């Protein structure tokens, strides 16, 4: 080796992940004061949710954010999850790329970076240690431990400063961290909005948040159902690369290629194995350790030519229409809401995903900007709000490509609309470690587009009905007020009887509404009929066409039912009055 080269190599070093991220904290999403704090909220909240759900617990989180000075805060975050056993606490919070979620499973976390990233940011900006209290069950006993520690960045490990037994009355984790150079904001990308959106995607959660001014916000849960646990799924042959196969071959305990493929990939039957052998000419009885790169490539090439059943989708758990609507109603109190969960499909040929979407109109929908509500697009991946980098995201690309005017939404930006889109997958194709935008895979863009257009059509129907009803009321009133007077006066003058004008009046009204909406009279009549049917359906009536008779589920006559309705309406009015006193989002000043 020449003199020069050895001198150059005098500086040769190895970086631990913590050292790397200390120099590149923006790669963890810590860039900008508002964003950095939001990312901290995001990491801690998603971990609490994942942990609680895995333990079958309805998540309840308490967050307390105090301002110590300008851009200097102390954050206390506690949850009711299963807690972290003592020996894992410093690994969780001080070792980067350590965690329990490196599996092909739908979860919010994927990388083992979030917790340690927060501790690193706190240490880098304040030099202060982290304080953790964990309550956990061990050998049937509830244990509590309090630890103070710092991160040894050079070693990618924790340095314990203090440890003591701590009395706890339930399981869960409480962490306290200080941050400087961050900012709490009510803006769209701020921490408060992050919580609000989190509640929409997670109606089963409860969050109590005390903001820096001392205001306490209680976001109550809208649903008492812990989401079913997603199952781990094996990768699909269409989604693997040659490198994946070589990696699997190196770390398997299987004795043959054959058994490696059937045990590591989904949809690999004996028949498919035979097909691979025929297409590649490779003897699949060989030992996995002997797999050559060219062989792995040939197998992947064969997979691309073969037909497989779609990947199993039991590993994907969507939020579901009912829950999406509950979450949106709780937070947005809209006048209209509709949602959709699309069927599972795949991107890159083998990675399954599901798109779910909801659209809400009126009420508190949209963001309030100087007395005006502007449309808001809420992007989610596995129920987690994506607050940043919207420009490059598959969801944004899909929504931009829709001609909203076709759906009667003339100015989407300025409408009181909230559009919710959630992408569920075991492998969400994030564009970076910050996990804020989804790669615009054509299949994902297509699914988001289809879901949104379906919802837009339903909203259009609602808006049309609303407009028609308003116009109808107004026009009928004009006709009803004036036509009888004119007719009666004319009859008097002509000394004839007042003609029967009801039917003509209804026709004229319909024609004028049709003119207004640019529709035919038949279309208006159809809409009216549909509306009536929907209303009857809502009240549980079924229409017996043969006997042109209407009965409800209890077989009461329509008249009886209407009488009941009047009583129920009165009772409902009384109930609403007392309910309106108990707001779900309670804001107690200085509580």
- Residues lying near ligand ATP in the complex (CB under 6 A) are found at 43, 47-48, 51, 79, 81-82, 84, 92, 99-101, 109-116, 173
Smallest distance from ligand ATP to CB 191, Å: 17
Smallest distance from ligand ATP to CB 179, Å: 17
Assigned token pair, 469: 């009803």
> Position of tokens 């979860």?
107
Q: Would you say 134 or 339 has its CB closer to ligand ATP?
A: 134
Smallest distance from ligand ATP to CB 105, Å: 11
Q: Indicate the helix (H) or strand (E) that contains 374.
A: strand 372-374
Assigned token pair, 131: 């304080």
> Computed from CA positions of residues 137, 143, 148, 153, in that sequence, does the dihedral angle turn out positive or negative?
negative
391 closest CA partner among 379, 382, 409: 379
Smallest distance from ligand ATP to CB 90, Å: 11
Residues 129 and 145: their CA atoms lie apart, in Å, by: 16
Smallest distance from ligand ATP to CB 52, Å: 8
Q: Would you say 97 or 247 has its CB closer to ligand ATP?
A: 97
Tell me if residue 64 falls in helix, strand or coil.
strand
CA distances (Å), 144 to each of 44, 281, 555, in order?
Answer: 20, 60, 60
Q: Would you say 101 or 143 has its CB closer to ligand ATP?
A: 101
Residue nearest to ligand ATP (CB): 109
Smallest distance from ligand ATP to CB 583, Å: 29
Query: In this structure, are strands 172-180 and 541-544 parallel, antiparallel, or unpaired?
Result: unpaired
Contact 237, 268 (CB under 8 A): yes
Q: Would you say 51 or 419 has its CB closer to ligand ATP?
A: 51
Smallest distance from ligand ATP to CB 331, Å: 24
**Phi/psi of residue 581, nearest 5 degrees:** -75, -25
Smallest distance from ligand ATP to CB 28, Å: 9
Q: Would you say 110 or 313 has its CB closer to ligand ATP?
A: 110
Which residue stretches of 78-183 are H helix? 86-94, 114-126
Give CA 336 to chain center in angstroms: 19
Contact 88, 77 (CB under 8 A): no
Q: Would you say 31 or 506 has its CB closer to ligand ATP?
A: 31
Residues 274 and 510: their CA atoms lie apart, in Å, by: 69
Residues 392 and 581: their CA atoms lie apart, in Å, by: 43
Give CA 10 to chain center in angstroms: 50
Smallest distance from ligand ATP to CB 207, Å: 14
Residues 224 and 129: their CA atoms lie apart, in Å, by: 37
Buried b (16+ CB within 10 A) or exposed e, 56-87: ebbbbbbbbbeeeeeeebbbebbbbbbbbebe
Smallest distance from ligand ATP to CB 122, Å: 14
Q: Indicate the helix (H) or strand (E) that contains 521.
A: helix 521-538
Residues 351 and 359: their CA atoms lie apart, in Å, by: 27
SS3 letters across 401-459:
CCCHHHHCCCCHHHCCEEEEEEEEECCCCECCCCCCCECCCHHHHHHHHHHHHHHHHHH
Smallest distance from ligand ATP to CB 41, Å: 13
Q: Would you say 101 or 216 has its CB closer to ligand ATP?
A: 101
Smallest distance from ligand ATP to CB 425, Å: 14
Q: Would you say 363 or 434 has its CB closer to ligand ATP?
A: 434
Q: Would you say 112 or 366 has its CB closer to ligand ATP?
A: 112
Residues 417 and 334: their CA atoms lie apart, in Å, by: 9
Smallest distance from ligand ATP to CB 95, Å: 8
Residues 52 and 337: their CA atoms lie apart, in Å, by: 29
Contact 415, 375 (CB under 8 A): yes
Q: Would you say 109 or 358 has its CB closer to ligand ATP?
A: 109
Contact 203, 422 (CB under 8 A): no
Contact 68, 122 (CB under 8 A): no
Q: Would you say 78 or 512 has its CB closer to ligand ATP?
A: 78
Q: Would you say 109 or 239 has its CB closer to ligand ATP?
A: 109
Q: Would you say 341 or 436 has its CB closer to ligand ATP?
A: 436
Q: Would you say 153 or 265 has its CB closer to ligand ATP?
A: 153
Assigned token pair, 228: 């079913």
Give CA 447 to chain center in angstroms: 15
Smallest distance from ligand ATP to CB 355, Å: 21
């Amino acid at each position: 080796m020449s003199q020069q080269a050895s001198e150059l190599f005098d500086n040769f070093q190895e970086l631990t992940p913590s050292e790397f991220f200390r120099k590149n904290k923006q790669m963890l999403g810590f860039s900008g004061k508002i964003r950095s704090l939001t990312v901290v909220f995001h990491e801690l909240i998603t971990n609490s949710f994942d942990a609680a759900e895995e333990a079958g617990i309805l998540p309840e989180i308490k967050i307390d954010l105090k301002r110590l000075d300008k851009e200097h805060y102390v954050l206390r975050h506690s949850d009711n999850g299963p807690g972290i056993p003592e020996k894992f606490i410093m690994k969780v919070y001080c070792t980067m790329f350590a965690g329990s979620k490196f599996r092909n499973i739908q979860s919010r976390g994927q990388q083992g970076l979030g917790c340690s990233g927060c501790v690193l940011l706190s240490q880098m900006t304040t030099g202060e240690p982290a304080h953790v209290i964990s309550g956990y069950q061990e050998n049937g006993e509830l244990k509590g431990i309090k630890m103070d520690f710092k991160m040894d960045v050079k070693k990618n490990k924790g340095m314990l400063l203090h440890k003591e037994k701590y009395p706890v009355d339930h399981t869960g984790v409480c962490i306290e961290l200080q941050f400087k150079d961050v900012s709490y904001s009510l803006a769209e990308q701020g921490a408060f909005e992050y919580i609000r959106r989190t509640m929409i995607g997670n109606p089963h959660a409860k969050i109590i948040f005390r903001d820096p001014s001392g205001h306490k916000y209680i976001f109550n849960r809208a649903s008492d159902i812990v989401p079913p646990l997603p199952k781990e799924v094996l990768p699909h042959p269409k989604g693997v690369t040659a490198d994946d196969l070589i990696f699997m071959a190196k770390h398997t305990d299987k004795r043959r290629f054959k058994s490696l493929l059937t045990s590591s990939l989904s949809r690999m039957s004996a028949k498919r194995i035979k097909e691979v052998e025929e297409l590649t000419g490779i003897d699949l009885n060989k030992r996995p350790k002997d797999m050559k790169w060219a062989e792995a490539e040939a197998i992947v090439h064969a997979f691309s030519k073969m037909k497989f059943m779609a990947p199993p989708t039991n590993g994907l758990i969507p939020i579901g229409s009912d829950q999406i609507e509950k979450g949106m109603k709780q937070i947005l109190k809209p006048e209209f809401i509709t949602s959709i969960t699309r069927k599972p499909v795949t991107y890159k040929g083998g990675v399954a995903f599901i798109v779910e979407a909801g659209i809400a109109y009126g009420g508190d929908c949209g963001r309030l900007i100087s007395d005006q509500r502007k449309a808001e697009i809420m992007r989610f991946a596995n129920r987690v709000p994506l607050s940043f980098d919207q420009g490059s995201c598959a969801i944004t690309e899909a929504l931009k490509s829709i001609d909203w005017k076709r759906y009667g939404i003339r100015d989407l930006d300025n409408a009181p609309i909230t559009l919710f889109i959630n992408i569920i997958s075991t492998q969400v194709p994030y564009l970076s470690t910050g996990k804020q935008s989804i790669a615009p895979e054509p299949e994902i863009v297509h699914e988001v587009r289809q879901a949104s257009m379906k919802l837009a059509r339903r909203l259009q129907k609602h808006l049309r009905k609303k407009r028609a009803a308003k116009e109808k009321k107004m026009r009928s009133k004009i006709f009803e007020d004036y036509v009888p007077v004119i007719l009666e006066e004319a009859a008097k003058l002509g000394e004839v009887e007042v003609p029967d004008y009801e039917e003509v009046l209804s026709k004229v009204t319909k024609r004028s509404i049709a003119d207004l909406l640019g529709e035919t009279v038949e279309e208006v009549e159809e809409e009216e009929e549909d509306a009536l049917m929907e209303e009857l359906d809502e009240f549980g009536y079924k229409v017996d066409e043969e006997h042109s008779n209407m009965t409800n589920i209890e077989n009461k006559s329509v008249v009886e039912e209407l009488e009941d309705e009047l009583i129920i309406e009165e009772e409902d009015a009384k109930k609403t009055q007392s309910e309106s006193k108990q707001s779900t989002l309670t804001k107690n000043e200085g509580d």
